[in-house]
Amino acid sequence: MKEVGRFAFTVHPFDVSRIHRRWPITRRLPDTWVEGLMRWKGPVIHAQVPRLETAQGAAEGWL
Q: Whole-model pTM?
A: 0.58
| 3-class state of residue 1 by DSSP | coil
Q: Cα–Cα distance between 5 and 14 in angstroms, integer?
A: 29
Find the domain containing 32 and state its range: 4-62
Per-residue pLDDT of 9-28, as tens digits, reads 887 777 899 899 988 999 99
Per-residue pLDDT of 20-60, as tens digits, reads 998 899 999 999 999 998 888 877 787 888 888 888 888 88
Which amino acid belongs to residue 20?
H
Q: How many domains in the chain?
A: 1
Residues written for the chain: 63
| 9 touches 60 (CB < 8 A) | no
What DSSP state is assigned to residue 39? H
